[in-house]
Amino acid sequence: MNKPWFAVRKELSPRRRSFLAVMSFVLPLLVWSLVSYVPFIWHPQVEIIEAGEVDYFRTGMLVDRSVFEQERETLRAEGRELPTGTRTNPVYLPAPHEVATALYTAFSTEPQRRNEKWLHESLADSIQVIFWGFFLSSLIGVPLGILAGTYVAVSRLTEPFVEFFRYLPAPAFGALAVAILGIHDAPKIAIIFIGTFFQQVLVVANTTRKLDPALLEAALTLGARNAGLLFKVVIPGVASDLYRDMRILLGWAWTYLIVAEMIGASSGITWFITQQARYKNFDNVFAAILIIGIIGLTTDLILAWLGRRLFPWQRTARA
Amino acid sequence: MYKPLKRLFGALVGIAMLGMSAQALSEPLKIGYSDWPGWVAWEVAIEKDWFKEEGVDVRFEWFDYVASMDAFAAGQLDAVAMTNGDALVTGATGARNVMIIINDYSNGNDMIVARRGINSVADLKGKKIGVEIGFVSHLLLLNALEKNGMSESDVELVNVPTNETPQVLASRNVDAIVAWQPSSGQALNMVPGATAIYTSADEPGLIYDVLAVSPTSLSANRDAWVKVARVWYRVVDYIQDPATRADAVSIMASRVGIAPAEYEAFLDGTKILTREEAMEFFKKGDGFTSLHGSSKIADEFNVANDVYKDPQPVDDYIDASITGAL
């Protein structure tokens, strides 16, 4: 326990590791709580309790502190009834307990109409969109990336165009996707695909290129050729690194979810977020954003655990 | 390795075939709608399964307003709920349509909301205004400016999606915004001292909310559209009958995710029309008391302000015979 906390590239004890992991969540939560509950830190607005003689103030209205003070000064000078209020944060920043309540209510509220969905059903829709987008992208992107990383000819034929295309913003293809693929899940999956695929090819190709040349030379010396070299040496050699790439890319796919679901008919978790934002229920909006974060993190933890079992020889897969 | 792949391929082919056969068997009329009281009202019929009772197969798809018109323009919908002005804009830019049902006219829900200190449209001179350019709010703004002897060049327009207008006004980057409910109401709530300096109630009939159908679908499924119209007037009766109004409002409120009491206010700014009233507005005439007249004015506005180039044959956009057939 006397070892230093900050030693370059030295492993920490398991206790310290878990402590820091917990703190990485506790600290932001602490900042959020401080900003929410301690009035003098931020609270740039005032919630009116009594409007006093300010003609446009209403009970419950939020006004900027400067405006509130100014109106008070004016009224005080004239000796009229002063407004009162408490300092508060803008409606865009709900407090942690409000978001926690919203999170619970969002899941426990029963659908009121026949064609309405439970929140978890909407979430399942979103997860399906992500899954298919990522699956289809990987189905083509991974083999293409491996080939491009192995054979210079494939690399020269594909990568310049892929490099070009990856700069095109995926959401810009929304209207085209709707025109070709309809209004339901297909255009949304297409946006996730476009957002993921081109990065994927490049990342996979680069990882494949990093394969230890000694392995290839040894295999060539031992007489391995073409298909054998590819399937027996290259792919097994990069598999664990590719697995790690895929975990990162899956996170990438998630970030396209909201723009993808804005296209065509409203659906999934995005429907919930945009609708609640329209009516300024930001506690619900933050709750939904949290859900996405939790799902993403959980998936990643499961994949990491799986990775440790699939590639026991790879210590770096532990990250 | 081989077997699972084969199975996967089989599954994919299966899904594809399922999709195709479903399409071939029955093609419901696809209708896009969005968050406006006069269109959310359709939800009552969906919830009560009245389309089935009437024997017409429809499928309602919920969109953001502009996305719904995009989907219609892309040929993915048979009909879409929009305003008469936007029907012309959508038509002029490629997706011809025919207005067959007048749901309502906006009676105060569309507003120009200005920050404190701006008390009339005349005060807008030289100010920045956040508005979704080229759509219904733009039309309302132009109408307000013209009535006060100004034109678009007297103000500075900032293109803002209607959903985001409340935040934009709150950010003080603009002096006024143009939006409809719920965004207009949110802007009033969120920005202390903000007032509605001009609303659609100042020019009733400027904005009619309609169901616009693609001409192809209308000629192929005329009977079905008559049935849709019949269901619509069942909805209107249900909303206007004091005995059932509360139930109707609670269904509509649940569609948009707010409390019924809150939703009542939105209905007040929307004049939902009975069939008799609608037939009056379908009559040809000049001025805002006729859908023809109103659309004609919208068309002139749109051309004058370069929303689109060529005047539209307004009469071709209106077909009273479906509502008339009831």
Report the alpha-carbon distance of residue B301 to residue A181 in Å, rounded: 35
Q: Are residues B193 and B210 in the same domain?
A: no
Q: List chain A residues with CB under 8 Å of B47.
A: 113-115
Do the bridges between strand B128-131 and strand B156-159 make them parallel or antiparallel, or are there none, so unpaired?
Answer: parallel
Residue B93 resides in a domain? yes
Residue A92's pLDDT is 86
| pLDDT < 50 positions in chain A | 317-319
Instruction: Please provide the average confidence, as pLDDT, over all residues in chain B.
Output: 90
Mutate to test the interface with A, among B30, B70, B119, B256 (most CBs of A within 10 A): B70
Percent helix / strand / coil, chain A, rounded to 5: 70, 5, 25
pLDDT at B223: 94
Predicted model pTM? 0.81
From chain B, which residues contact A within 8 Å (Cβ)? Answer: 30, 32, 35, 43, 46-47, 49, 61-64, 67, 70-71, 74-77, 116, 163, 166, 182-183, 186, 189-190, 192-193, 250-251, 254-258
Domain annotation covers residue B2: no
Identify whether residues B89 and B216 lie together within a single domain. yes
CATH number at residue B284: 3.40.190.10
Give the model's pLDDT for residue A316: 52
Choose one of B202, B222, B240: the last residue of a domain. B202
Residue B115 sits in the same domain as residue B142 = yes
Considering the domain boundaries, does residue B158 fall inside one?
Answer: yes
In a domain, B154, yes or no: yes
Which residues of chain B neighbour A62 with C-beta distances below 8 Å? 190, 192
DSSP labels, A44-65: -EEEEEE-TT-TT--TT-EEEH
Q: What is the pLDDT, as a whole number, of residue A126?
A: 94
In a domain, B1, yes or no: no
CB-nearest partner of B258 from A179, A271, A279: A279
Among the partner-chain residues A178, A266, A275, the one whose CB lies closest to the CB of B76 is: A178
* B157 and B223 belong to one structural domain: no
Pairwise CB contact (< 8 Å): A264 & B67:
yes
E strands within chain A? 45-50, 62-64, 84-88
Residue B293: inside a domain, yes or no?
yes
Instruction: Point out the domain boundary residue: B157, B182, B202.
Output: B202
Q: Confidence band (pLDDT; 50, 70, 90) for B19? A: very low
pLDDT at B24: 41
Whether residue B290 sits in one domain with residue B236:
yes
For residues B263 and B120, membership in a common domain is answered with no
A99 touching B, CB under 8 A?
no
- End-of-domain residue from the set B180, B202, B224: B202
DSSP B174-225: SSEEEE-TTHHHHHHHHSTT-EEEEEGGGSTTSSEEEEEE-HHHHHHSHHHH
Q: Enumerate residues 6+ apart whose C-beta is below 8 A from A279.
A: B182, B186, B256, B257, B258
pLDDT above 50: residue B25: no
* Nearest alpha carbon to residue B227 among B84, B98, B76, B58: B58
Same domain for B86 and B138? Answer: no
> Do B194 and B248 fall within a single domain?
no
Mean pLDDT, residues B186-202:
92
Q: Do residue B86 and residue B212 come from a single domain?
A: yes
Query: Of B43, B63, B257, which has the smallest distance from its Cβ to A279's Cβ?
Result: B257
CATH number listed for the domain at residues A106-318 = 1.10.3720.10
pLDDT of residue B18: 47
Residue B3 in any domain: the answer is: no
Reported as half-sphere exposure (CB side, CA atoms, 13 A), residue A35 has a value of 16
Q: CB contact, 8 Å: A224 with chain B?
A: no
Do B143 and B158 belong to one domain?
A: yes
Sheet holding B195-199, edge to edge: B156-159, B128-131, B176-179, B111-114, B195-199
Do the chains contact at B192 and A274, CB–CB below 8 Å?
no
Contact B278, B289 (CB under 8 A): no
Give me the domain span that covers residue B147. Answer: 111-202
Q: Are residues B222 and B303 in the same domain?
A: yes
pLDDT tens across B243-253, in order? 999 999 999 99
Cβ–Cβ under 8 Å, residues B64 and A266: yes
Structural domain count of chain B: 2
Domain presence at residue B232: yes
Tens of pLDDT, residues B252-278: 999 988 889 989 988 989 999 999 999
Identify whether residues B62 and B174 lie together within a single domain. Answer: no
Residue of B nearest to A284 (CA): B257
